[in-house]
Amino acid sequence: KLKELKGHSNWVWGLEISPDGKNIVSCSSDDTIRLWNIESGKCVKVLSGHSQTVWNVHYSPDGQMAVSSSRDKIIGLWDVKSDNELKKLKGHSKEISNAKFSPDGKSILSCSIDNTVRIWDVKTGNELKVLFNHLCCIRSVEYFPDGQTIVFCSDDKIIYLCDVESEQIIQKFEGHSSLISDLCLVKKIKNLQKQLNFVVIFAMATLKQQKRKFI
């Protein structure tokens, strides 16, 4: 055990290491986001602005910003250097389960238990597109490196690979016996069509749904 990072007053739901490997950003049911210095193990900033549980938080590719997703139906866009909340992105009708930057850092991809995936412009904060009015809650979503393909997971126990422009489902991955609560790409690829069989997607199934209740 290297360090214990203590400061949140309630459950910690998400965290991520900064692109330069020097800091960690975390989020909690105490409604805050905290930045930690890895070397010292100390909390260096507390970002406040959400009114309910913050489920996830992720850095931008350059490490200058962070995006948070919350039960309060708001996506928070933060300047991690100045502590400022840059924008509140509003549009989802129910709580937001996850939000992540595009590979170029110019847009944000979000998903919600309102069964939709949405794309937002980072510079303006405007909603650009509503994708996939799905039949079930969508728990996590992520861009492929090409920025044109996304993968998301749902309460229907299926992982979907989709084309953003056409909004068509390219492939489905089935096997989990319960809802899939999160996913990430393990091996990033440049040519999706040629190397689809070599993509590895790590997904985590929630066995006991009562551990994370969505209202």
Domains of the chain and any CATH numbers? 12-211 (2.130.10.10)
For residue 190, the model assigns a pLDDT of: 52
Total Cβ atoms within 10 A of residue 3: 12
Rounded to two decimals, the pTM is 0.84
| Residue of 81, 154, 80, 101 lying closest to 89 (CA atoms) | 101
Nearest to 60 by CA among 89, 103, 22, 119: 103
Provide mean pLDDT across the span 13-40.
96
Per-residue pLDDT tens digits for 91-125: 999 999 999 999 999 999 999 999 999 999 999 99
Is the pLDDT assigned to residue 46 strictly greater than 70? yes
127: nearest Cα among 161, 160, 88, 98: 88
